[in-house]
A = this chain, B = another copy of it.
Amino acid sequence: LACAGTIEQYLDQFTRSLKLPPNLVEAIRYALLGGGKRLRPVLAWNTCEAVGGPAAQSLPAAGALELIHAFSLVHDDLPALDNDDMRRGRATLHVHAGEAMAILAGDAMMALAFEHLAQHCPAGRSSLLVQELSTATTAMIAGQVFDTLGGFPEGISAAEKLGLIHRNKTGALIRAACRMGAIAGDADTQALADVTRYGEAIGLMFQIVDDLLDVEATAQQTGKKTGKDAQAGKTTYPGILGVERSRQEVVRLQHEALEAVRPLGMRAEPLRELCRLMAERDR
């Protein structure tokens, strides 16, 4: 993807310029520059272009989104939560820098995300972007509570619980990435709605693909432990729908996403390509 280098450089420069204790900056850079897919920044960049905005205008949103994503990975990996010691093919932050630093660096990344929006966007847009990002962040945390500690409404089915977990835990930030890109590109109401529908479809698709990979891929491919969900007794889409119907659902959601951005015409071509890549990824 053409924008990947620009985004990587932006994150690198942003973290170099931080006026914070050097041990904290090192921890933030370890977590943030650890070779992720940059899905959310890439979505923001491409939705911004798809609604006719200059893509560079999406960079503050892209940076803030990746900070929130990295914060959530660091905290979710902690011993008291998912207790993961491997991420992107190397030690998680609490293994690398200690648990105290992992908690504090995660906290700092969240605060920096909002500071970054407030400092680098004009007031009207920054207010909208902060609203999108904070709401999605709260939803992510609620999703992690559902996933690890319960708290579901009474009497809902296993499938409904699964939907509730993932709409919050992964879906909300992917949806927000699309909306924030569109807001950065000064989208009109209709284009914002189209992009939102696209974001909701690919967000759910992303999770189903993730669950399928946990069943089918190897740790070497994904850079993290696999087969973990079944081992942990976690409910997954393949677990509920079976592998075959999960694959069909991926196809259906891909179609839904493509339909959603059809009105945006040629400018949405990168969003279509991204949707295909996400449906077919193997790590």
Contact = CB atoms under 8 A, between A and B. Distances in A.
Interface in A28-59: none
Contacts of A124: 123-124, 127
A217 interface: no
B152 A21 contact: yes
Q: Which of A75, A100, A106, A141 has the most CB of B within 10 A?
A: A141
B145 A131 contact: no
Interface in A101-141: 101, 103-104, 106-108, 110-112, 114-115, 117-119, 121, 123-124, 126-128, 130-131, 133-135, 137-138, 141
A149 B144 CA distance: 28
B24 A108 contact: no
A276 B50 CA distance: 58
B108 A148 contact: no
Interface of A is mostly: helix
Given A100-B148, A108-B138, A111-B138, 8 more contacts: A20-B142, A21-B151, A80-B98, A111-B134, A111-B137, A114-B130, A115-B138, A118-B130
Contacts of A10: none
Given A110-B111, A151-B21, A127 B135 contact: no
B23 A107 contact: no
A99 interface: yes
A24 B150 CA distance: 10
A111 B141 contact: yes
Stoichiometry, copies per complex: 2
A149 B150 CA distance: 34
A138 B117 contact: no
Contacts of A61: none
B134 A114 contact: yes
A184 to B, nearest CB: 15
A142 B25 CA distance: 10
B144 A104 contact: yes
B131 A115 contact: yes
A81 B108 contact: no
B134 A118 contact: yes
A22 interface: yes
Interface in A143-174: 144-146, 148-152
A212 interface: no
A4 to B, nearest CB: 27
